[in-house]
Structure 1
Amino acid sequence: MISLVALDMAGTTIDDGGTVYDALEQSVVEAGASVAPADLQTWMGTDKVEAITALLRLGDVTPTDELVAATFDRFRQFLRLAYGTNPPTAIEGAEAALSELRRRGVKVALTTGFDDEVAYPLLEALGWTIGSGADCTVDAVVTTSDVPVGRPAPYMIFRAMEATGVQNVAEVLVAGDTVVDIQAGRNAGAVACGVLTGKADRATLEAQDYDHLLGSVAEIPGLPELSA
C-alpha cells in the first residue's frame, strides 16, 4: 500500500518550458565555463549550488566560493526573468492526479532541487497551496534548504515522510524526470519511477534502476501499487 507519493517539481509536475536547464547553462557559461549537454543532464535535479560547482569545474573554471555564490545569484535572476515572461504551468493531468491521490487518502509531497527562495514563489505563481486541508494542492514541500545534501541522496524523501507522518519507506512512491530523481527514490528504498515530461530522453531514464517509467505523473493513480 502506498501512503505517500513524493514528486519532483520542474519537469515532473510543473511545465517550465525547460527554463531551469536554460538558466543553469546560461549562468555557468556567463561565469566562463563551457557546458557539455551530457554534463548538464547529469546534474539536473540536484541541488543547484552543487550543480553549479560541478559544472564550473567540468568547464575548466575553478569554483571558488565567491564565484559559485555569484553564479547561483545569476541563475536565480535568469529564472525570475524567464518566469516573469513565460509563467510556468502545471503539467497536463498533474493537478487532477494530485487531487485524486489526496482524495484516496494518499499524502502528496513535492521535492525539488530548488531552494526555498525559488521553490515557494514558483508554487505561489501556480496558485498551489500546502497543507492537510481538502482544498490544498499538496501536503508538504521539501526543498534543498531543508536538507544537508540534495539528490541523489534520499534525505528530501525522508523529510517528506517526516512531514506527512509516514513511517514505512515501503509505502512511499517517488517520481521525477531526471536520473537523480530515480536514484534518490531507489536510495530511499521507495518505489522509484521516472517520467518522460522533462528533458531526459527515454534511453537515459531506461538505463536507470526503476520500478515504472511513465509518460507523465497523470498515470500514477492507475499504477498497481495505487489502484487497489
Structure 2
Amino acid sequence: MISLVTFDVVGTTVDDGGMVSRALRTAVEETGAQVSAEDVGAWAGIERVSAIAALMSLGGVRPRPGVARRQLARFKEILADSWSSEPPHEIGGAASVFAQLQERGIRVALTTDLDEQALTPLMESLGWWPARRHLIDTVVTADDVSSGCPAPYLIHRAMERTMVIDVHQVLAVGDAVVDLQAAGNAGAVSAGVLTGAGDGQTMEAVGADFLLGSVAEVPSVVSADSAMG
C-alpha cells in the first residue's frame, strides 16, 4: 500500500518548455565547450556541478578548478531570467493529482535537483507554495542532500520528513532515467512519465515498475497498488 508519492518537478509535474536544458547548455558553452542537446539530455537531473564539468570535458574544454561552480551560478541566472519572462506551467493537472492523493491520506513530496533559490519563485508562480501548502507535505531540494539523482537521498529525505519508514510504501515518479535509478537505489516503487526527458523504451530498460503518459495517471497506479495489497 502506497503511503507516500514523491514527484520530480521539471518534466514531471512542471512543463518549462525545455528551459532548464537550454540554460544548462548555455552555461556550458559559455566556457567554449560545444555540446549537443543530446549530450545535455544525457546529464539531465544529475547534480549540476558534476554535470557542467562532465559536459565541459565532453565539449573539449578542461574543467579548471572553480569554473564548473562559477557556471552553476550562471545557469541559475539564465534559468531565472527565462522563467521570469515565460513562466512554466503545471503538467496534466498536477495540483489536482496532489489533492486526490491527499484526500486518500497519501503524503505528497516534491523532489528536485534544483536548489531552493531556483525553486521557490517557480512554486510561487504556480500557486503551490506556500498558498496551497496543504497540497504538498514537503519539498526536498538539492540544498537538502549531499548528492542528487541517481543517489536515493532525495527520496529518503522525503520519507524522513513525512514519517514513512517502509520504502515499499513509496512511489517515486519522474521523467528521466536518473529519477528511476534513484527510485531503484532507494528501494521504492518507480513510475516513469513520458512528459519530459526520458523515452519509454529507455525507462523500461532501466526497470520502471510503471510507465505512464503523465502524472494524471498516478492516482490509478496508487489504486491498483492498494487493490493488490
Q: TM-score, normalized by length of structure 1?
A: 0.94
**TM-superposition CA deviations, 1:135-176 (whole Å, max 9, x none):** 622000101111111100000100000010101101000010
User: Aligned pair 1:13/2:13, yes or no?
Assistant: yes
Match of 2:108 in 1: 108
Match of 2:185 in 1: 187
1:227–1:55 distance in 2 versus 1, CA, 3 Å: farther
Q: CA deviation at 1:126?
A: 1.2
Answer whether contact 1:21 1:40 (CA < 8 A) is retained.
Answer: yes
1:225–1:219 distance in 2 versus 1, CA, 3 Å: same
Quote the Cα distance in structure 1 between the aligned partners of 2:55 and 2:133.
41
Q: 1:158 aligns with which of 156, 159, 164?
A: 156
Match of 1:122 in 2: 122
State the aligned residue count. 226
Aligned amino acid, residue 201 of structure 2 = A
**TM-superposition CA deviations, 1:24-70 (whole Å, max 9, x none):** 11111111111133331221012222211211122221222321122
1:128–1:135 distance in 2 versus 1, CA, 3 Å: closer
Match of 1:54 in 2: 54
Matches within 5 A, 1:1-228: 1-129=1-129, 136-223=134-221, 224-226=224-226
Structure 1 vs Structure 2 CA RMSD:
1.7
Q: TM-score, normalized by length of structure 2?
A: 0.93
Percent identity between matched residues is 47
Quote the Cα distance in structure 2 between the aligned partners of 1:71 and 1:124.
25
Aligned amino acid, residue 121 of structure 1 = P
**TM-superposition CA deviations, 1:63-113 (whole Å, max 9, x none):** 223211221111111111111111011112211111100110000000001
1:199–1:67 distance in 2 versus 1, CA, 3 Å: same
Unpaired segments of 5 or more residues in structure 2?
Answer: none
Quote the Cα distance in structure 2 between the aligned partners of 1:104 and 1:160.
18
The farther-off stretch of 54-63 and 110-119 is 54-63
Unpaired segments of 5 or more residues in structure 1?
Answer: none
Secondary structure class of the residue paired with 1:110: strand
Quote the Cα distance in structure 2 between the aligned partners of 1:58 and 1:130.
40
4+ long deviations beyond 2 Å: 36-39, 199-207
Quote the Cα distance in structure 2 between the aligned partners of 1:117 and 1:225.
36
Aligned amino acid, residue 158 of structure 2 = A
Answer whether contact 1:94 1:217 (CA < 8 A) is retained.
Answer: yes
Aligned amino acid, residue 105 of structure 1 = G
